Every structure is written in C-alpha cells, then in structure tokens.
Structure 1
Amino acid sequence: QRVRQSRSQGLQILLYLVKSSSSSCVSLLFSDSNCSQLCVGNGTCACHDGYQLRQDGVNCEDVNECLTGSHNCVIGQGCINTEGSFRCQRETSCGTGYELKDDNACQDIDECSLGTHNCGPDFLCTNTVGSFRCHPKERCSDGYIQDAIGSCIDINECVAYTTPCPHGQTCINTVGSYTCRRNTVTCGRGYHLTEDGTRCEDVDECRAGNVCGDHGCVNLMGSYRCECRIGFIFNSITRLCEDINECRHYPGRLCAHKCENTEGSYTCSCTTGFKLSHDGRNCEDVNECDANPCSQECANVYGSYQCYCRRGYQLSDIDGMTCEDIDECALPTGGHVCSYRCSNAPGSFYCTCPPTGYTIAHNGRTCQDIDECAAGTHNCSVSESCFNTQGGFRCLSFICPPNYRHIAKGRCERVACEFEQDPALCFSLPLRISFYNISFPANTPVPADVFRMGASNSVPGDKMLFNIISGNEEGYFVVEQKAHGGEISLRRALNAPRDFFLTVEMRLIRYGTAHLYMAKIAVFVTHELSIRPSRTFPY
C-alpha cells in the first residue's frame, strides 16, 4: 500500500513540473535527466518514499525501515525489508486448535464440523476455543461411572467417599453399591485374643515352645529375645541364635597360621613343617631331620628341611631326598677330567693311562710320558741311540756318509776336498749335515709349525733358500721362507701314527757365494692323548 502511495505522490509531482513553465528541469524530465528518480528544479534531485538520496545527490537507495525503526509492526510480528518499503510477518505459529489466515491472524478450528475429532460413537463432539470436548450420549445408573471410551464401570464407594459407613463398621465394596460390616478385633504378631474376644494380650513365646533351643529365652511385649551362649549371636530377623565365625570376624588375630570355624568356637592348625604349641594358637617349627628323611645329610630350616649330598653325589630330581652318584666321566666337562681315560666310582672317579709308555701324574688325572731313554728301560744296542717319543721310544743309528766326519752329536761336516777328487763334485756337497728327531701326536690341529732352521749367525745381506728334497712325496709338510730362516709346517691332518724322514736343503748366499747345508729330520707321529704335551724343537 505504501509503495502505491509513493508512486502516486511521484506522479503528482511530475504533473506539477510539467505544468510549471518556470522550472528548468522540465525539459530534462523527458530527456536524459541526471536524477535517478525525481528532479525538483534548479538541478536538485529527489527520491520516492522508501528511498533516500545518496551523497552524490543524483542516485537513490532503499531505506531499511526495519533497521531505522520507521516500521509499524506490532509485538509478535517481525519486520521484513522490501525494495522501497517493508512488510510485517507473524513470528510464532498459532498453536494446536488454530490456523493462520492471510491477514496473519489466528482463527479457531472447529474440529467437530470438520470431523477431525476423536470422539467415539457413543459420544457427542462439542467445539471449544482452540479444542473440543466429548460428552457421552447415555448416562450410567447409580453406582457406576462412564470411562473414557463410554463404558460404565463400578464406583468403589469405600474409596470414593470419606466415611460411607458409621463408626465401628467396615465398608465392603460391591458391584454397583457397597455394604457395611461390624468390626472384629484382630491381634498383631506376638499377641492373641482374650477368652472373651474383646482385647489382645501378649503371648509368652518362651513358655509356648522351645523357640531358642538350648539358649536362654527372655519374653518381651509382643516378642521375645534369645540369650545366646558364647560363640553365638542373636539374629533379630530370624529370631534365632546363629554361630559366630570367629575366623572371619577376627582374621589373623586368633591363630598364628590357619583358623577353622566350629559350632560356637574355632580351632587352630599349622602349615606343613610346624606343630601347634601348648596354647593351641601359636605354631612351632618341626625338626624334620630327627626322622632322617635324607639319604645322606640333612639340615633343618624354619618350616622345612634341606637334604645335602656328599662330594661326588647329587640330589635326585624325583624325590629331592635321595643322593645319587655323579658320573664325572659323563659330564659335559668329563673329557677334561682325565687326559686319557676316565672310570667312574661311587662318589668319585679315577683316571687311567695307556698300558705302556705312560704313567699317572701326582694329580691323578694327567698321563705323563715315561722317558725310557732316561730311565734306561729301553732295549737299544750300544751302537744305537735312544730317542724318546710320546708313549714309547725309538732306537736310531747315526753314521756320517762318505766324505764327512763326525764333529758333534747329530752333526757331520764335509772333509777338505783333495786334489785327486773331482773339485766340482766335492764343492757341490753340503758343508754340514745335521740330524734331528721330533715327535708329536696324531690329530694335531693344522696348520702346525714343527721345525725351524737357519744360520747360526747372520750377516747383513744374507739370503737363504729352503727346499724339501725328499720324504714329503705326499705333501704333508711345506717349508716357508721367514725373515731369519725357514719354517716347516704340517699342512695336512694326520689321524694315525706314522714316521717321516725329511731331507731339507738350506742354501746360504753370503757375499755372493753360495753355501749348501742339509738337515735330515726324523718325524715320529704317535698315538693321540686328550692333553698333549708341549714340544720344543732344536734348530
């Protein structure tokens, strides 16, 4: 409506300006006027109602009446701004039993005429403001009332009325009515009627029956109480004397170890390894060793005992009391107990050695080689030399070859070359031949150094060459050049006794001249023992 008013006012202003010939804006109204809405003369612009002129003085913008408070909406309506105007709209719904009309007003709904009520077929619908009511078509007779679905149900007059019967009478409801009956005397628990039936008197339960059993009984008005013996307590609900569980009421304060409840009392007992003291509550340690439970040694401990075995025995895993012999020879370390052979004995063991060539040492475990050569128990002839080996000996003959003479034990030196001899053949012979005897057991780990040789004195610039020229056809040994000599090593394992006779040449080059030396080495491989003796080899 306000929009229509604004447009009418604008049209009137426009007609006025057309009629007025003095206005300078008339020609501009029907041409390219700068004003966005109205021109009021002298280049001044104006706006329709609901608009306001901007700061540029030409264009118009909408006025938000909802923000400026220039609307006329009442309480319960909300203001909604529109272009050039505003409108009022109801904020809340009308609620149940009403409907909203076009003018934002709430109007009552007649549920009865519309048929939207829920009254049953035995009820009539009556419309009310915002709701409706259901009235029964038929009325119930006296003593009945109609329920929500129209059925007639009985009225309990004894409950519905305050005093339907006279004093001294009791109301009893009936279908459609009620009756009154004279009161009778009813006695509570612990009381009974007198012979005339007019009053109640106390019942003496202590005389009426054995209510407390073998406990004392005290009569009370309307009740009784049992005087319970020691160890019992009276239960006011069951009216009986019940046993007191002392073990549960006084845990840890009656018995030192275990407590067992009994009827009216309790008993104490002890755990294994203890016995009950004279006071019946504490526990004393039992010396189990007095009964000799162990096969050898017994030690009493608090609450138990411990069995021990003598040296060479161990406790059985089955009973922990019997001592069994320890087979020292079968232990994981049994291979190190004896150097040759271990024999078990009750509580101990003993070591033995091979039948010949060895004797047992003072420690009773190690087998020592018998030096038959030193002891004179060998059978070598006078012309032979005795060489001791592990577990035996060898008889060796030592003879220098032709063109050599004996200069020391095991050493031969070349004689001077005479003119009648071939000088080339003479000087090609070794200057010295040395004889060596060495021995080691079979199964010696390889590689193993067995012999070293070199010059007795060295000169700067010396050069030595070594070579095994015989006795090593199977390649068990190898010679290696070292800084000050040569070293013979065992490179292949020997698992059985065996003899080798090696011939080794050493060529010494000194000051440009070559000198030849020879070593004849007798190697005797003997039977193996667990503990191998140490060896030293001469040069």
Structure 2
Amino acid sequence: MCIICIVLSINPLSPQTCTEGFAYDRRARQCIDVDECRTLPDACRGDMGCVNQNGGYLPDTPALYPRVRSTAQCILGYTLAEDGTCNDIDECETNSHHCNPTQVCINTSGGYTCSCTEGYWLIGGQCQDIDECRYGYCQQLCANAPGSYSCSCNPGFILNPDSRTCQDVDECEDEPCSHGCFNTYGSFMCNCDEGFELAADGTTCIDLDECSFSEFLCQHRCVNTPGSFSCICPPGYYVFEDGRSCEDFNECDTGNNTCTTAQVCFNFQGGYTCLDPLQCRPPYVEVSDNQCMCSAENPACRDKAFTILYRHMDLSSGRSVPADIFQMQATTRYPGAFYIFQIKSGNDGREFYMRQTSNVSATLVLSRPIKGPKQVVLDLEMVTVNNVINFRGSSIIRLTIFVSEHPF
C-alpha cells in the first residue's frame, strides 16, 4: 500500500524544464502543477482516495495516518503556501521591487513592472511630466499642471463637454444692446436706430443731437427730438415742404389779418400792414388811389413836385449787396427834354443810391445791408429839364420799404 507517493527532483530549472510534478505551459510561459490524481493510473491504491497537491499528490487516508507536507519548490516570483500551493508574491505590496521613486510599481503574475502614472512618461528611467499644452490638447487656452492639464476659452466662448474645444456664445440672446445686436465669432456688436449713436460703453444708444451739427440745418431754429429733429419758423412764416425752409405766410391772401374794409392789406416777409386810404395834403389833390397831383395853374404848386406817386415794397433783413431793388422811368417824353434821377430824402444812412440806366430810366440800388425790422421811406425824384422851352419840373415816387426781421 502507497502511503506517500511524492517524487522530488533537484534538477535545476530551464526555460522549458520544470521540477517533477510541474509541466511547462507555453501560453502562460511558466510551470504549472500536474494533477497526478487524474493522469496517473492507480496513483493511490486500496480504499484510499487521491488528493492532488502543488508539485505532487497525497492519498486521502483515515485520521490515524499523518499528513506529510510537500517539499516541492515554487518558481521565481511565487512562494509556497502552507497548503502546498504556490502563491504569487506581490513585490509592490512587500516593497521588494526595484522601481525608481518616481515610478509606479505594478504587480504581475510572478513579477512586476515599473511604469508612470497618467500624465507622465518614462524618460531615462525617470517619470517626467507631459506638457499637454505643447501638443495642442486644448483648442484655445491651456494650463499645464504636474501630470495633468486644464483647458479654458477666450471671452465670448464656453468650454464644450469634451473639456477641450470651445464654442461661440451668442451674447445677443441676453439682449445686451439697447437697440440692435449682431452676434460675431467670440463677441457681438451693437447698432443704433437712425437718429441715435452708440455711447462709450458700446451697448447703450444715446440720442444724436442733429441740431449741433450745423447752424444751417434749419433756416430759422432747430429743435432736437429723440432720434430726430424739427425746424421751427418765426411768427408770420410756415415750414416749407422740405421741412427746413421758412416761407412767408401771406396774411392778406388768407384773410388772416385785422385790416378794415377801408384799408388795404399789404403783405411783407414775416408780417403785414394795413394801409389807410390815401389822403393828399393841400395843395395836392388825389387823382387816383395812390397818386396826388399839384396843378401848375395853382401858384402854391410852383416850387413843389408835380405829382407824388405812393409805392410800397418789402425787403429781407440783411440782404446781400449791391442789389437792384426798384426801377424808375419817365412815362412821358418831351422833345429836347432830359431827365435827372436822384434820392431827395430818406437816405440818411446812405444805404441807397440811384444808378441811371438810360436817358429816361434809373435803378434804385441797395448799397449797404439793412437789419430789420425797420421801415424806410424814400422820396425818389425824377427832374425833367427842357432848355428849349426853359422848363424844369419834378415828379416824386414816395417809396415805403418794409424791412423784415429775418433774412428770409
């Protein structure tokens, strides 16, 4: 009867030679235990059973038979346990490895390997940090850290869920502009409605004071309004179709005046006046609604003008000079007669002079600008001289000029 059936060998191990009780496994590249209870016929005889052991086998004997510990050897990297099995030695746990302090020990079956943690690579036996920023791990901003890195984005972008790439932020969704908003790549632009301009903060729209651009924007007065402007004209004028010019409001044509039926309404730029009926002072007598005559048969008329014709005109304040403003001419011609035209009275400021344009006509010229409102009355005299019959006489046009307050 076989009580202990163990065969030991002390032959040294070779790459493909194992101690007895072990066989070389090419896939595992190591010696593994052989189950003699299955491979050997009648390994234990009699009524005893067979119990496989690491490197051998034992009969399953009754209690009165002692068990004998196997003395089989384990390959390098393994240690024999009390139950006779070979257990892997964890060199990393037992600190029996030879890894560099900068390295990480990783236990393997029958051995160990030295490696580096994520974010480091092995160079010359040392674990050195990988500068991920150098290799473009991030799309925009990158911050390297020992064994790691972090990505961030420029203003106007947010980090995608991949923690590497960035996407544009549509700032217009938050309505940052007071008027219009236009999204751009990484930013946005604000624009303003017509009549407004962008403030220094780049988002607020403030009213544009068009009236401050030019004093010629309106002919009279400019009034700024939110986003626009309007022109205002003085009393006696209305704003023309262009929205800027002032046109005279003819109170005489519209009937918007206070003249009586006996009076005559005379319109001038920016206003009107009511002319009373003509009253000729003696020795003059009325010959028409605007003319007085002094008869030659009347001794009182000897040194006076033969006729006085009343005329009216308007003139804009500050009109540019020189300007021809009124024409005077003889209506009756006598053989051998010649005519002299002159300003007899009313030209105290020397604003006017007469320019003779022919033998029988002359023009009143404005030589200096006149500021209104003002009323000027000129006596324009035409002297008729006839040496053949030894005659000298004169006629007067009494011209009343209404100078407006404004230059339009």
The answer to whether the 8 A contact 2:381-2:397 is kept is: yes
Structure 1 residues 302 and 486 mapped into 2: Cα distance closer, same or farther (>3 Å)? Answer: farther
Aligned counterpart for 1:245 among listed residues 126, 131, 138: 131
Q: 1:387 deviation in Å?
A: 0.8
1:165 corresponding residue in structure 2: none
Aligned counterpart for 2:174 among listed residues 291, 300, 303: 291
Aligned counterpart for 1:394 among listed residues 273, 282, 290: 273
1:336 corresponding residue in structure 2: 216
Aligned counterpart for 1:521 among listed residues 375, 399, 405: 399
Task: Give the whole-Å Cα distance in 1 for the aligned partners of 2:357 and 2:185.
Answer: 72
The answer to whether the 8 A contact 1:215-1:229 is kept is: no
1:376 corresponding residue in structure 2: 255
1:453 corresponding residue in structure 2: 327
SS in 2 for 1:373: helix
Structure 1 residues 290 and 514 mapped into 2: Cα distance closer, same or farther (>3 Å)? Answer: farther
1:435 corresponding residue in structure 2: 310
Q: 1:516 deviation in Å?
A: 4.6
Structure 1 residues 403 and 285 mapped into 2: Cα distance closer, same or farther (>3 Å)? Answer: same
Q: 1:303 deviation in Å?
A: 1.9
Equivalent AA in structure 1 for residue 351 of structure 2: Y
Q: Higher helix share goes to which structure? A: 1
User: How is 1:318-357 mapped onto 2 (pairs within 5 angstroms)?
Assistant: 319-329=201-211, 331-333=212-214, 335-354=215-234, 356-357=235-236
Structure number with the bigger relative contact order (C-alpha 8 A, sep ≥ 6) is: 2
User: How is 1:128-207 mapped onto 2 (pairs within 5 angstroms)?
Assistant: 207=97
Larger Rg computed on CA atoms:
1
Structure 1 residues 457 and 499 mapped into 2: Cα distance closer, same or farther (>3 Å)? Answer: closer
Structure 1 residues 421 and 519 mapped into 2: Cα distance closer, same or farther (>3 Å)? Answer: closer
Structure 1 residues 495 and 216 mapped into 2: Cα distance closer, same or farther (>3 Å)? Answer: farther
In the TM superposition, what whole-angstrom CA distance separates every residue of 1:354-374 from its partner, at most 9, and x where no partner exists?
4x4334445554443322211
The answer to whether the 8 A contact 2:284-2:292 is kept is: no
Structure 1 residues 226 and 445 mapped into 2: Cα distance closer, same or farther (>3 Å)? Answer: farther
In the TM superposition, what whole-angstrom CA distance separates every residue of 1:54-97 from its partner, at most 9, and x where no partner exists?
xxxxxxxxxxxxxxxxxxxxxxxxxxxxxxxxxxxxxxxxxxxx
In the TM superposition, what whole-angstrom CA distance separates every residue of 1:284-329 from its partner, at most 9, and x where no partner exists?
2211011111122222122211112223322212x11112223333
In the TM superposition, what whole-angstrom CA distance separates every residue of 1:240-282 from its partner, at most 9, and x where no partner exists?
221122323x3xx544333332333433332222223344443
Q: Confirm whether residue 305 of structure 1 aligns to residue 188 of structure 2.
A: yes
Equivalent AA in structure 2 for residue 256 of structure 1: Q
User: How is 1:465-484 mapped onto 2 (pairs within 5 angstroms)?
Assistant: 465-482=340-357
TM-score (norm 1): 0.47
TM-score (norm 2): 0.60
Q: Confirm whether residue 271 of structure 1 aligns to residue 154 of structure 2.
A: yes
Structure 1 residues 242 and 457 mapped into 2: Cα distance closer, same or farther (>3 Å)? Answer: farther
Aligned counterpart for 2:364 among listed residues 485, 488, 493: 488
Q: 1:502 deviation in Å?
A: 0.4
The answer to whether the 8 A contact 1:478-1:488 is kept is: yes
Specify every segment of 5 or more residues in structure 2 that has no aligned partner in the other structure, as ranges: 1-94, 108-112
Q: 1:422 deviation in Å?
A: 6.1
Structure 1 residues 410 and 226 mapped into 2: Cα distance closer, same or farther (>3 Å)? Answer: farther
Task: Give the whole-Å Cα distance in 2 for the aligned partners of 1:436 and 1:424.
Answer: 22
Task: Give the whole-Å Cα distance in 2 for the aligned partners of 1:215 and 1:445.
Answer: 106
Equivalent AA in structure 1 for residue 327 of structure 2: M
SS in 1 for 2:97: helix
Structure 1 residues 463 and 272 mapped into 2: Cα distance closer, same or farther (>3 Å)? Answer: farther
SS in 2 for 1:247: helix
Aligned counterpart for 2:377 among listed residues 501, 514, 519: 501
Structure 1 residues 411 and 241 mapped into 2: Cα distance closer, same or farther (>3 Å)? Answer: farther
Q: 1:435 deviation in Å?
A: 3.0
2:50 corresponding residue in structure 1: none
Equivalent AA in structure 2 for residue 321 of structure 1: T
Structure 1 residues 212 and 429 mapped into 2: Cα distance closer, same or farther (>3 Å)? Answer: closer
Q: 1:447 deviation in Å?
A: 2.7
Task: Give the whole-Å Cα distance in 2 for the aligned partners of 1:228 and 1:464.
Answer: 126
SS in 2 for 1:505: strand
SS in 1 for 2:104: coil
Task: Give the whole-Å Cα distance in 2 for the aligned partners of 1:412 and 1:313.
Answer: 64
The answer to whether the 8 A contact 2:176-2:203 is kept is: yes
1:211 corresponding residue in structure 2: 101
User: How is 1:119-134 mapped onto 2 (pairs within 5 angstroms)?
Assistant: none
In the TM superposition, what whole-angstrom CA distance separates every residue of 1:373-411 from its partner, at most 9, and x where no partner exists?
11223222333221112332112233566566646x645
Task: Give the whole-Å Cα distance in 1 for the aligned partners of 2:368 and 2:226.
Answer: 43
Task: Give the whole-Å Cα distance in 1 for the aligned partners of 2:345 and 2:128.
Answer: 112
In the TM superposition, what whole-angstrom CA distance separates every residue of 1:402-437 from its partner, at most 9, and x where no partner exists?
566646x6456777x5xx5569949x845x644332
In the TM superposition, what whole-angstrom CA distance separates every residue of 1:183-229 from its partner, at most 9, and x where no partner exists?
xxxxxxxxxxxxxxxxxxxxxx9935643333779xxxxxxx96445
Aligned pair count reads 302
Task: Give the whole-Å Cα distance in 1 for the aligned partners of 2:163 and 2:311.
Answer: 91
In the TM superposition, what whole-angstrom CA distance separates every residue of 1:447-488 from its partner, at most 9, and x where no partner exists?
3426231437999x9976431111112323333345795443
Task: Give the whole-Å Cα distance in 2 for the aligned partners of 1:313 and 1:348.
Answer: 8
Identity of matched residues, %: 33
